[in-house]
Amino acid sequence: MKSSSTDGVPLTGATGASHAPPAGLEDRPRVISGLHNFVAAAAAAGLRTVARTWRLVERRNEEYTAHRLLGERKNVIFALWHDRILFTMWYMAYRFRPHGPRFCLMISASKDGDILAGATYRFRGDAVRGSSSRKGREALLAMMDRLELGQNGVITPDGPRGPRNRAHAGITLLAQKSGVPIVPVIAGAKYAYRFRSWDRFMLPLPGTPIRLVYGDPIWVPPNADDAMREHFRKKLEDDLNALAHEADDWRTLKRPVAGRLPPK
Residues contacting residue 249 through CB under 8 Å, at least 6 positions apart: none
What Rg value do the Cα atoms of the chain yield, rounded? 17
| Top-confidence residue, 100 or 182 | 182
> pLDDT tens-digit profile of 91-117?
888 776 655 557 899 988 777 788 888
Q: CA–CA distance from 203 to each of 14, 86, 197, 238, 260 (Å)? A: 36, 7, 12, 23, 17
| 173-187 CB burial, b ≥16 within 10 A, e <16 | bbbbbbbbbbbbbbb
From CA 258, how far away is CA 191, in angstroms rounded?
16
From CA 94, how far away is CA 140, in angstroms rounded?
25
Range with the lowest mean pLDDT among 36-50, 152-166, 225-239? Answer: 36-50
Does residue 219 sit in helix, strand or coil? coil
What is the structure's pLDDT at 111? 74
Query: 214 - beta bridge partners?
Result: 185
DSSP string, 153-174: EEE-TTTTT--TT---SHHHHH
Q: Residue 62's pLDDT band (boundaries 50, 70, 90)?
A: confident
Phi, psi of 62 (to 5 degrees): -70, -35
The stretch 111-131 carries a mean pLDDT of 83
Range with the lowest mean pLDDT among 63-67, 246-250, 258-262? Answer: 258-262
> pLDDT tens-digit profile of 23-58?
333 444 444 567 777 888 898 899 989 999 999 999
Query: 204 - beta bridge partners?
Result: 192
- Which range of 9-18, 77-86, 246-255 scores highest in mean pLDDT? It is 77-86
The stretch 73-89 carries a mean pLDDT of 90
Query: 78 - beta bridge partners?
Result: 154, 183
What is the structure's pLDDT at 32? 53
Mean pLDDT (the chain, rounded): 81
Query: 153 - beta bridge partners?
Result: 77, 104
